Amino acid sequence: MESWAKGRVIFFFLQIKLTRLGKEIDPTLDTAPSAAEFMCSYIWFNKAVARWLDIALYKAMQRIIKAVQLDRLTPVDELVRT
């Protein structure tokens, strides 16, 4: 399954869970989103996930850079040459 398809499936299940949560909090609410509301929330969610992935990538790269700086290269055995 491609990454965009996985994202759509995850978003769909998240939307269902949020709808159920809204009904549990206030059963009188009609929480069924219209198509326009759904697309707006999808666009917002898509941008939020992209931003979150950018932050995760940045933090991972910073950790890798720090690990390389702290790493001390020492021979493990005779087969490994520096």
| pLDDT tens digits along 26-64 | 666 665 666 676 667 777 777 888 888 899 999 999 999
Query: What is the domain count for the chain?
Result: 2
Residue-averaged pLDDT of the chain: 77
- CA neighbor of 7 nearest in space, from 58, 37, 47: 47
Half-sphere exposure of 24 (CA within 13 A, CB side): 6
Q: Does a structural domain hold residue 82?
A: no
- Confidence at residue 28, expressed as pLDDT on a 0 to 100 scale: 65
One domain for residues 26 and 50: no
State both tokens at 23: 């009904």
Q: Are residues 19 and 45 in the same domain?
A: no
Distance of CA 30 to the CA centre of its chain: 29
